[in-house]
Amino acid sequence: MDFCFARSRIHLALAVLAALALCALHPASAADKPDPVADAKAFRNYFVNKFPNVKLEDFVNGPYALNEDMRRQWEQKEQFPPYEFSLEMGKELFAKPFKNGRHYADCFPNQGIGIRQDFPYFDTREGRVVTLELALNRCREANGEPPLSYVDDEMAALTAYMAFTSRGKPFAIKVPDDPRALEAYQNGKRYFYARRGQLNFSCATCHVQNPGERMRAEVLAPALGILNAMPIYRSEWGGMGTISRRLTTCNSQIRGVPLDPQDEEYRDLEYYLSYVSNGLSISGPGARP
């Protein structure tokens, strides 16, 4: 524990100040320091206990894990899924060389195949969370190409293809024991639980407190595994949409002001939410209502 004590009254103030400074530099107590491992365990246990009849691996299927009538519709559509064309486009886009002759494959480990489950990661060199969408645009910019919109079809198709190559692989997000990484993780967690917007909802309001329930016409997905199916082809959109698109539209739907796609808060949120779903398989791209 701390050793914050003064020796004499004369130096008391100084000592206290020094001690406080020292205390601040000490690793925080167990109650203060983020503990992703404990968080993930508690997060998972909450959902497993709330839905004892749902298999753990099924949480990645969102509302379909919780509603039988919806599940049947989904299974029927999955026989020949609506996102086939987006997936094909993604594969073509991924293979297409940049003007300088290089490829997306050159920017990623294993040529970009089967690596989606490692995103987001904390870039210790830069001190920030790097998501798959961000990494793709960085790859483009590093090769002289203009960045893609984070909310349009091309980015959705690319991430759909990359997710598809990782189907079945468990989320393997790392939060290194680096205060900056822990801060980003904690920031994401804070965002998740903070209320916002006219409706004063947090992400947790819908996805932790009310999964399986209806909010207007939608059946809410559980937060556990919610990013595993991304990007998603939504019937509502008539097309494939990225994580960025979903986060910004979620914000709008609770009548809050959306942040810019790939804003630091969104990236930290994605970091947190992916981490607590570690061990659950990538199921993307997913089809949703």
Partner 1 sequence: MTTSHNGLPPTRRLILKGAGSVALAGLGIVSFRPLAASAANDTYPEDAFRQREANEAIKLLYGRTAEPSDKVKLDAPEIAENGAVVPISVATTLTDVTSVSFLVPENPNVLAAYYKIPPGSMPNVANRLKMARTSNVIVIVEAGGKLYSATKEVKVTVGGCGG
Partner 2 sequence: MASSIRVRAIANGEITEVQTLIQHPMDSGFIKDDKGAFIPAHFIQELTFEYDGRKVFIADWGTAVSKDPYVKFSFKGGNKGGDLKVSWIDNKGETDATIVKIQ
Chain residues that interact with partner 1, rule: CB under 8 A: 63, 69-70, 72-74, 76-77, 82, 216-217, 219, 235-236, 238, 289
Closer of 8 and 76 to partner 1 (Cβ): 76
Residue 84 contacts which entry, partner 1, partner 2, none (Cβ below 5-8 A, type-dependent): partner 2
Q: How far is the CB of 235 from partner 2 (least distance, A)?
A: 8
* Short-list 138, 159, 119, CA closest to 267: 119
- What 209-212 contacts at long range (C-beta under 8 Å, 24+ apart), as own/partner pairs, is 211/47, 211/50, 211/51, 211/63, 211/66, 212/51, 212/63, 212/66, 212/67
Residue 49 contacts which entry, partner 2, partner 1, none (Cβ below 5-8 A, type-dependent): none
| Residue 221, token pair as written in the block | 């997905």
Q: How far is the CB of 92 from partner 2 (least distance, A)?
A: 8
Q: What distance in Å separates the CA atoms of residue 261 and residue 137, rounded to the nearest whole number?
A: 12
Q: How far is the CB of 289 from partner 1 (least distance, A)?
A: 4
Residue 88 contacts which entry, partner 1, partner 2, none (Cβ below 5-8 A, type-dependent): partner 2
Backbone angles phi, psi at 111, to 5 degrees: 60, 15
Residue 139 appears among annotated catalytic residues: no
Closer of 141 and 236 to partner 1 (Cβ): 236
Q: How far is the CB of 236 from partner 2 (least distance, A)?
A: 12
Q: How far is the CB of 263 from partner 2 (least distance, A)?
A: 25
Max CA pair span of the chain: 80
Closer of 88 and 236 to partner 1 (Cβ): 236
Q: Determine the Cα angle at 186 with ends 202 and 165, to 5°.
A: 85
Residue 72 contacts which entry, partner 1, partner 2, none (Cβ below 5-8 A, type-dependent): partner 1
* DSSP state letter for 62: G
Closer of 25 and 217 to partner 1 (Cβ): 217
Closer of 149 and 210 to partner 2 (Cβ): 149
CB-based contact 131:120 (threshold 8 Å): yes
State the catalytic residues.
250
